[in-house]
């Protein structure tokens, strides 16, 4: 398992980039609730009961997914975030919803933090793998911590989405933006998750995003 190999990665550009966006994410959640991709993730994870489950939300943003599941009866949630801005918005929402006793937050790169983290029944990575270069390390470390349900979303594998996404990467590099997203081999990611003993139980998509939910095979 390659969870050791990304420990020297510099997450500061990701922190800065997403911290700048965090107020906008919070405003959207406060006003509009959940995005379509998030609604699909929840539809998929609800294939199994969420009551009393322990949640791990990696790249949790402002916390919309795990806070929604806690309101529905999940036991506890841990949000892991590289972005200080995102995690502070998530903490504020947890307090507003009086869920602070059932939430904990870890500021840092999940791959680096994973060895000291507890296992979860349900793990979610919503639009996170495309923000991280070493997908093998991220998927390996997160599936290893997952007892039952594993959900992720990633850009759709088609020529239109690939072109738009690669154009974003091109311009980010051209203008020397410190952060740029990553286009991975999404089919290889699916194969990797299956190789970690998970079966696909739900699949859905928006124009740009693919949502996949897996169950651990015992």
Ligand X SMILES: C[S@@+](CC[C@H](N)C(=O)[O-])C[C@H]1O[C@@H](n2cnc3c(N)ncnc32)[C@H](O)[C@@H]1O
Instruction: List CB contacts of 129: < 8 A, sequence separation 6 or more.
Output: 135, 138, 139, 152, 154, 184, 189
Q: Does 99 contact ligand X by CB under 6 A?
A: no
Contact stretch for ligand X (CB under 6 A) within 43-51, 66-74, 127-135, 161-169: 127-135
Q: Does 110 contact ligand X by CB under 6 A?
A: yes
The pattern of x and - marking residues 9 through 48 that bind ligand X according to CB under 6 A reads -----x---x------x-----------------------
Report which DSSP code applies to 145.
T
Per CB under 6 A, the list member of 42, 94, 131, 189 interacting with ligand X is 131
Contact 121, 45 (CB under 8 A): no
Instruction: List CB contacts of 15: < 8 A, sequence separation 6 or more.
Output: 82, 83, 84
Report the nearest approach of ligand X to the CB of residue 14 (Å).
Answer: 5
CA distance 4 to 147: 21
Contact 78, 108 (CB under 8 A): no
Q: How many residues bind ligand X (CB under 6 A)?
A: 22
Per CB under 6 A, the list member of 45, 56, 82, 114 interacting with ligand X is 82
CA distance 141 to 22: 25
Q: Does 3 contact ligand X by CB under 6 A?
A: no
Give φ, ψ of 202 to 5 degrees.
-155, 140
Q: Does 89 contact ligand X by CB under 6 A?
A: no
The residues of the shown chain that bind ligand X, judged by CB under 6 A, are 14, 18, 25, 58-61, 64, 80-83, 86, 109-111, 126-128, 131-132, 138
């Amino acid at each position: 398992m390659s969870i050791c190999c990304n420990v020297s990665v510099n997450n500061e550009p990701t922190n800065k980039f997403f911290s700048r966006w965090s107020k906008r994410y919070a405003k959207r959640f406060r006003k509009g609730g959940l995005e379509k991709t998030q609604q699909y993730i929840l539809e998929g994870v609800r294939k199994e009961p969420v009551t009393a489950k322990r949640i791990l939300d990696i790249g949790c943003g402002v916390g919309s997914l795990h806070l929604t599941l806690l309101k529905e009866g999940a036991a506890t949630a841990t949000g892991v975030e590289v972005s200080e801005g995102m995690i502070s918005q998530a903490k504020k929402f947890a307090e507003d919803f009086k869920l602070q006793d059932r939430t904990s937050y870890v500021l840092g790169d999940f791959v680096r933090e994973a060895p000291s983290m507890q296992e979860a029944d349900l793990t979610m990575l919503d639009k996170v793998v495309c923000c991280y270069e070493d997908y093998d390390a991220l998927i390996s470390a997160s599936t290893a911590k997952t007892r039952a349900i594993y959900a992720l979303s990633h850009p759709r594998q088609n020529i239109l989405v690939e072109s738009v996404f690669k154009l974003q990467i091109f311009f980010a590099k051209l203008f020397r933006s410190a952060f740029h997203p990553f286009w991975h081999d999404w089919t290889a990611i699916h194969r990797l998750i299956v190789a970690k003993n998970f079966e696909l139980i739900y699949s859905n998509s928006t124009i740009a995003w693919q949502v996949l939910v897996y169950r651990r095979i015992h």
